[in-house]
């Protein structure tokens, strides 16, 4: 049976990968919508881009805060 420190370390790694992965996914999604809007030069797509950025900004901010905490935690555990 593994000790508690090993299980805690594994859980910490899973959370770190999930937070950083989700942040990258959100930024990639916003970038894809913005690129599509710029390529089509359509006002409907620009409006969609604006709504996407408005929705994703608080999500990305929360994920960035979580990523900072996880990063600091990784430094503290090292």
pLDDT tens digits, one per residue of 15-60: 888 999 999 999 999 999 999 999 999 899 999 999 999 999 999 9
What integer pLDDT is reported at residue 32 of this predicted model?
A: 96
To the nearest 5 percent, what fractions of the chain are helix, strand and coil?
A: 90, 0, 10
For 52, other C-beta atoms within 10 Å of its C-beta total 17
- Which of 70, 51, 62, 57 lies closest to 13, judged by CA? 70
41: left (phi over 0), alpha (psi -120 to 50) or beta: left
Please tell me the pTM assigned to this model.
0.80
């Amino acid at each position: 049976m593994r000790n508690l420190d090993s299980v805690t370390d594994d859980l910490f790694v899973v959370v770190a990968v999930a937070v950083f992965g989700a942040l990258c996914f959100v930024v990639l999604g916003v970038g894809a919508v913005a690129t599509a809007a710029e390529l089509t030069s359509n006002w409907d797509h620009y409006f969609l881009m604006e709504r996407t950025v408005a929705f994703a900004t608080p999500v990305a901010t929360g994920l960035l805060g979580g990523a900072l905490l996880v990063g600091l935690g990784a430094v503290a555990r090292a």
